[in-house]
Amino acid sequence: MAELVIPAPEQVTIPTRDGGAFPVRRIFCVGRNYAEHAREMGHDPDRELPFYFTKPADTVVLNGADMPYPTATKDLHHEMELVVAIGTGGSDIAEADALTHVWGYCAGLDMTRRDLQNEAKKAGRPWDMGKGFDHSAPLGVLVPAQGVDPSRGRIELKVNGQVRQTSDLGKLIWSVPEIIANLSRLVALAPGDLIMTGTPEGVAAVQRGDVLEGMIEGVGEVRTRIV
């Protein structure tokens, strides 16, 4: 084996409830997957095929750690989401088998430089710099899939103790099994992949000093402070 010419990147991991560490391979994100959020962003929430964007693995912020306010924006938004952790990979996964590929779930935040995203939308350009910037994915502790029903349960985000987003997983336009089946027809899913499943309505700007506390019933919490 050839000698590495630079040090190998450190493996990004997130903690699991039982004290383990889950290695993160890729982060896929589903766009506009709650009807009311689609409407508040000016879009029709009909069941068009799901679409995806990505974040690098090293955008993860561990639960409880501070998130630096990013550069190049004046409009940083929160998006509270259910995150699915893939334990068994595959292509063309059948919807009926999709949940057997899930290792677990956690609460997460898809932080967004909304001004950059909106500029990209208007110009017909990719969203990468609006979505995949450093520290843009605060994540909670992963819980094993056994006993978790991803089709129901309250999802909520508070900022400085005030509720900003509240909904139910039952309002997902595309369910977790449908997302896994669809995405696996586009790419071969692999162990370590994360899927952020979309955010409900109520997205808004946050500032330095704000404390974000999210929860998903039956799954857990995510917390970060903007610094």
Kindly give, in sequence order, each residue whose CB lies less than 8 Å from that of residue 199, ignoring residues fewer than 6 positions away. Answer: 33, 34, 37, 79, 80, 81, 110, 165
| Domain annotation covers residue 88 | yes
| Domain annotation covers residue 51 | yes
- Tokens 């404390």 belong to 211
d(CA 133, CA 128): 7
Kindly give, in sequence order, each residue whose CB lies less than 8 Å from that of residue 39, ignoring residues fewer than 6 positions away. Answer: 45, 201
Please state the rounded mean pLDDT for residues 26-55. 82
Q: What is the structure's pLDDT at 226?
A: 98
Which amino acid, residue 13?
A: T
For residue 4 the two structure tokens come to: 């590495």
Please state the rounded mean pLDDT for residues 201-223. 98
| Domain annotation covers residue 58 | yes
Say yes or no to pLDDT of 40 above 90. Answer: no
Say yes or no to pLDDT of 37 above 80. Answer: no
d(CA 154, CA 216): 6
Kindly give, in sequence order, each residue whose CB lies less than 8 Å from that of residue 138, ignoring residues fewer than 6 positions away. Answer: 60, 61, 62, 63, 65, 67, 108, 109, 111, 212, 222, 223, 224
| Neighbouring C-alpha atoms within 13 Å toward the C-beta of 164 | 22
**Angle, CA of 185, 189 and 193, to the nearest 5°:** 140
CATH number, position 71:
3.90.850.10
| Neighbouring C-alpha atoms within 13 Å toward the C-beta of 149 | 6
Please state the rounded mean pLDDT for residues 155-168. 98
Say yes or no to pLDDT of 46 above 80. Answer: no
Contact 57, 12 (CB under 8 A): yes
Query: H helices within the chain, ranges in order?
Result: 35-40, 114-123, 128-131, 176-184
| Domain annotation covers residue 108 | yes
Q: What is the structure's pLDDT at 42?
A: 63
Instruction: Give which of 223, 186, 227, 222 is closest to 83, Cα–Cα.
Output: 222
Please state the rounded mean pLDDT for residues 20-40. 88
| Domain annotation covers residue 50 | yes
Q: What is the structure's pLDDT at 17?
A: 97
pLDDT tier for residue 45 given thresholds of 50, 70 and 90: low
Please state the rounded mean pLDDT for residues 129-152. 98
| Domain annotation covers residue 93 | yes
Please state the rounded mean pLDDT for residues 30-57. 80
Q: What is the structure's pLDDT at 68?
A: 98
Look up the domain containing 63 and give its range. Answer: 14-225
| Domain annotation covers residue 199 | yes
- Tokens 């992963």 belong to 142
For residue 65 the two structure tokens come to: 């750690």
pLDDT tier for residue 35 given thresholds of 50, 70 and 90: confident
Total structural domains within the chain: 1
| Domain annotation covers residue 139 | yes
Residue 53: strand pairing partners: 29
